[in-house]
Chains A and B, each alone.
Chain A
Amino acid sequence: MNEMIPPKAERSAALKGLGTSRKRVEDARFTQGKGNFIDDLKLPGMLFGDFVRSPYPHAYVKSINTDAALAVPGVVAVLTAADLEPLGLHWMPTLAGDKQMVLADGKVLFQGQEVAFVVASDRYVAADAVELVEVDYEELPALVDPFKAEIKGAPILREDIADNLEGAHGARRHPNHIFTWESGEKEQTEAAIGEAEIVAEEMIYYHRTHPCPLETCGAVASMDKVNGKLTLHGTFQAPHAVRTVASLISGIAEHNIRVISPDIGGGFGNKVGVYPGYVCSIVASIVTGKPVKWIEDRIENLTSTAFARDYWMQGKISATKEGKITGLWCHTTADHGAFDACADPTKFPAGFMNICTGSYDIPTAYLCVDGIYTNKAPGGVAYRCSFRVTEAAYFIERMIEMLAIKLKMDAAELRRINFIKKEQFPYQSALGWEYDSGDYHTAWEKALEAVNYTELRKEQTQRLEDFKAGATRSLMGIGLCHFTEIVGAGPVKNCDILGLGMFDSCEIRIHPTGSAIARLGTISQGQGHATTFAQILASEIGIPADDITLEEGDTDTAPYGLGTYGSRSTPVAGAATAMAGRKIRAKAQMIAAYLLEVHDDDVEWDVDRFAVKGAPERFKTMKEIAFASYSQEIPGVEPGLEAVSYYDPPNMTYPFGAYICVMDINVDTGIADIRTFYALDDCGTRINPMIIEGQVHGGLTEAFAISMGQELAYDDMGNVKTGSLMDFFIPTSWETPNYITDFTTTPSPHHPIGAKGVGESPNVGGVPAFSNAVHDAFRSFGLTQSHMPHDHWRIWKIANDLGLHDK
């Protein structure tokens, strides 16, 4: 009998659980063109909506004439703010406690703002009618530079709240000022810096950009007037929150709203917010009684939904002569655009910017962020980022480099001196976070060794000599970065969005024959949840991952959750999955014990079964237990085998990584060739190494784009300069480098399986690594700070400003 039980390892492998590079279950449909994206959805009688948008960044809307548009055959309706006002829907709440116009209410505040919504039989007719809507504008001066927002005579943007001295995040000092947010000890920090031996000070700008997923945003709203039910399909990274918001603003009872996120073609934060297109589709469907589809085009996507970054970070960092950091000070001017629509937890108007002490043991720190209105599109989303962590990581990793310059010290050594030590975890940061776990020194040494850092520095020195001798026009840059992230928002006690606690959930049903379905409150946009969450469950409940269906995105069937962004799915929903699995296992234990006629405590878990302690040949597999739960009367135990878990994490998780980028820069062309990019990530327990590697490749490529060329640029008049993929830099396979990936594993002590999340790490850590490499190439010529993106002309300008073109 005993030899008939396959060995543990074999049974464990068959589960394809934790640690397995399981192939993705999602791929069958995507590789065959059978994905189910929002624009693939067709409903009978469906109409198409399209926006009239403002060509002006700032203007009064004097009148709107829709007659000519309405006369186009096939046009069903043209909605304006006047039509939405009786429903109270001409404005909507933003995620940041502000409100935003759904359609222009008397004025427009950014180029591309929604002015009217044309509803027609198809997108061609709608586009024709959009051209015929006559809008009479009175142009106003535009406010583009946030540093000019509060000067005398500055145009007042938000006349609706000009007199409100109290905003959603405290006092406002000017009509164009949104909030001031402080963290840390101001006086103590300023004293530390004031008396320090060495101080580095610099303005660090992380420029405005955009997540630009390959699929734009879109929705199909369908109001069933017979049953009073609204079904809203759309590109939502947080479908449950969208349902609640839709209910609150429309007045439709929440049980009468079903929100469905289909396959999503990339999100990266773009699809967290609620946009006028969603609201207008809903209203149009209510008005017409027909399903209404709205799909953004690329220009609309880039110019009206979800910008990211745009933080001007003035920093001071102080240290002893030996390089021990004594204090960090930061004042950030945050350009939020025309409406404060940042997607941050309510209590964090600048997100988790206060993780800006990074990987370093800094005794005292102070952060102050001022949010400012400008005539630009709203957004401020967490673009592949956990709420401003990208900005924070860029800030500290640039400041460290600046300090190294002041100290005339190697930047790798400076980091080494200041890292939080392994034994200091859990570590209390000066700005109030409790880092769960880390082993920075081990990761750092592994990375430096992997790239042969000492040799690289020698080569760089030689190159510099050759350059000075006129033998080459190429300089070598070595970009270092050690980042610490804060992800997995988050504990309900301090994280909510619009009052909704940021827990997440998983519900599991085991079928009689031993296969299962699990549903989560999150939604994949390419992360492969259907693959990885089944792996977590397989290891927890001993049912092969291949026998577990995973569903997300339908609010009628999935348990409530706050969705997928900020690398929160694995830390929060992944934990809920493990916890729900443990509930299943606990019940299975009782059933097994009953079937084996022993006490509950006399059976033990063995990969995919419960066996009698000391008698492994006496067991019940999960398959047998599942069937028994549906077929037998078990005293004291309810029939069936299901569980649900709502998981409120006790803390955030703190993934970290060591990245090194080596590039060769031609000072005459400004072209930087990425020679090597080494990325070591520590995301705690690794669920699926193949998927982790894929996430790292993708995140690094977004970091490459952002740091080396991508920007959402406005001219001085407030016009968008990079509104299509002609000018908005997205690298192709030709420009994109290859990456070397590596890892260490430091599990999170508070997460049920020790996982920390990884999707955003490469973007958070990648940008400073690329940028630091550019700066490093010019360090010996005296460069301190040059703003991103480091495109050809800006790199050329560095060289030119340093006098390297004279020879």
Chain B
Amino acid sequence: MIPAAFNYHRPDTIEGAVKLINEFGDEARVVAGGHSLIPMMKLRMTGLSHLVDLQGIGGLKGISVDGDTITIGAMTTQHELIVHKQLSSRAPIIAEAALQIADPQVRYVGTIGGNVANGDPGNDMPGLMQCLDAIYSLQGPSGQRSVPARTFYEAAYFTEREEDEILTSISFQATGGGYAYEKQKRKIGDYATAAAGVLIEKDGDKCSAASIALTNLADTPIYCEAAVAALVGTALDPGDVGAAVKAAVDASDPSEDNRGPIEFKKHIAGVVIRCAIERAIERA
């Protein structure tokens, strides 16, 4: 498993990086942690002749909390997300999900930007970002623009990001209430058979706000609007939860793979979603 040759660039500014990918067009790819891209290159499943390494750009790293707004630089690693105390208190679902990604070595290197940007349906962060209603900042030759995570994903490996744009940061609002990220997988290092992120806020006995998103249950992450509608305003009784689970499962569209056939995945989706909702309610 030997990658084909390429030219290497390590720009130190976002502008420099954007300039490079503009210059080389579809022959260029940016690399963050590289743990999705490099295996593909080793299998020679992706042709590129210019690799633009983002590690030298200081502006892409770090986590900042400004009031209720949390902004995470694209080059922040999963490991950094897990150990960041303020992040863990303001949006604990992030660490809970990040700990279920890959394995320790991969989490040291894998970045949130890489995880959300490449459009791999197996990645956990895209679903989580839809759950958090995060906004992605993209920078291209004509400047910066924002795209909500919930509209970013078009199909497997196809996103709203233009080829000459770089995803630079992610921002979302701190969460209150209950949360859970639930994932079933065959082993550490595997993608999800099914995974779900859930946020629930309560006002008295009533559910005042909720968010539910799914991972690896379609060729894109799925934000489950109908499932959310089934919960908000209810007392979160078993019947309400059941209705939300059903709505979310109905929204899923998994495909068969080595983890199992569609029927099985839909069933596991139901189990995982229910578990996530119930745990989020417990914590709300």
Chain A interface residues toward B at CB < 8 A: 123-124, 126-128, 131, 297-299, 668-671, 709, 713, 721-722, 726-727, 729, 731-732, 734-735, 791-793, 796-797, 800, 805
Contact = CB atoms under 8 A, between A and B. Distances in A.
A259 to B, nearest CB: 28
B56 interface: no
Given A128-B4, A297-B1, A796-B268, A732 B186 contact: no
B103 A732 contact: yes
B110 to A, nearest CB: 15
Contacts of A791: 186, 260
Interface stretch (B78-86, B162-170, B187-195, B276-284): B187-195
B268 A735 contact: no
A669 B187 contact: no
Contact of B187 (A131, A734, A796): A734
Interface in B226-282: 258-261, 263-264, 267-268, 271
Contacts of B45: none
B184 interface: yes
Contact of B260 (A127, A726, A793): A793
Nearest to A473: B271
29 contacts: A124-B2, A126-B2, A128-B5, A668-B267, A668-B271, A670-B268, A671-B184, A709-B186, A722-B258, A726-B189, A727-B258, A729-B186, A729-B187, A732-B103, A732-B187, A732-B188, A735-B187, A791-B186, A791-B260, A792-B186, A792-B193, A793-B261, A793-B264, A796-B264, A796-B268, A797-B264, A800-B263, A800-B267, A805-B267
Give 8 nearest A-B pairs by CB, closest first.
Answer: A793-B260, A127-B2, A793-B264, A732-B188, A734-B188, A727-B258, A297-B1, A668-B271
A127 B3 CA distance: 8
B206 interface: no
Contacts of B145: none
A669 B258 contact: no
Interface in B1-42: 1-2, 4-5
Contacts of B264: 670, 792-793, 796-797, 800
Contacts of B44: 131
Nearest to B264: A793
B27 to A, nearest CB: 17
Interface string B121-135: 000000000000000
Contacts of A722: 258
B189 A732 contact: yes
B102 to A, nearest CB: 11
Contacts of A792: 184, 186, 193, 259-260, 264, 268
Contacts of A797: 264
Contacts of B187: 709, 729, 731-732, 734-735
A507 B41 CA distance: 50
Nearest to A709: B186
Interface string B185-210: 01111100100000000000000000
A297 B43 CA distance: 11
A726 B189 CA distance: 8
A805 B264 CA distance: 11
Contacts of A732: 103, 187-189
Contacts of A123: 2
B72 to A, nearest CB: 27
A732 B185 CA distance: 13
Contacts of B260: 791-793, 796
Contacts, number: 63
Dominant SS at the B interface? loop
A709 B259 CA distance: 10
Interface residues of B, number: 22
A732 B188 CA distance: 7
A299 B44 CA distance: 13
A678 B196 CA distance: 36
A727 B263 CA distance: 20
A407 to B, nearest CB: 34
A298 to B, nearest CB: 8
A713 B258 contact: yes
Contacts of B263: 800
Q: Which of B1, B2, B5, B268 is most buried by chain A, counting CB atoms within 10 A of its CB?
A: B2
Contacts of A735: 187-188
Nearest to B122: A726
Contacts of A128: 2, 4-5
Given A732-B103, A793-B259, 8 more contacts: A124-B2, A124-B5, A128-B5, A669-B271, A796-B260, A796-B267, A800-B267, A805-B267
A153 B5 CA distance: 47
A729 B189 CA distance: 11
Contacts of B1: 297-299
B186 A669 contact: no
A298 B190 CA distance: 17
B30 to A, nearest CB: 23
B3 to A, nearest CB: 8
A793 B190 CA distance: 15
A669 B268 contact: yes
B101 to A, nearest CB: 14
B77 to A, nearest CB: 20
Nearest to B187: A735
Interface string B70-93: 000000000000000000000000
Contacts of B190: 726
A806 to B, nearest CB: 12
A127 B5 CA distance: 11
Contacts of A297: 1
Nearest to A130: B2
A131 B5 CA distance: 13
Q: Which of B5, B44, B261, B268 is most buried by chain A, counting CB atoms within 10 A of its CB?
A: B268
Interface string B149-171: 00000000000000000000000
Contacts of A800: 263-264, 267
Contacts of B268: 669-670, 792, 796
B278 to A, nearest CB: 13
A124 B44 CA distance: 12
Contacts of B259: 792-793
Contacts of A669: 184, 268, 271
A727 B260 CA distance: 12
A734 B185 CA distance: 12
Nearest to A713: B258
A729 B186 CA distance: 8
A296 B180 CA distance: 43
Interface string B216-234: 0000000000000000000
Nearest to A725: B189
A670 B259 CA distance: 11
A721 B193 contact: no
B244 to A, nearest CB: 17
A339 to B, nearest CB: 26
Contacts of A713: 258
Nearest to B260: A793
Contacts of B189: 726, 732
Given A668-B267, A792-B193, A793-B264, A721 B258 contact: yes
A352 to B, nearest CB: 32
Contacts of A721: 258
A759 to B, nearest CB: 25
A156 to B, nearest CB: 31
B184 to A, nearest CB: 6
Contacts of A727: 258
A125 to B, nearest CB: 9
A713 B259 CA distance: 12
Nearest to B259: A793
A658 B187 CA distance: 28
Contacts of A298: 1
A29 to B, nearest CB: 24
Contacts of B267: 668, 796, 800, 805
Q: Which of B1, B187, B188 is most buried by chain A, counting CB atoms within 10 A of its CB?
A: B187
A257 B159 CA distance: 59
A1 to B, nearest CB: 63
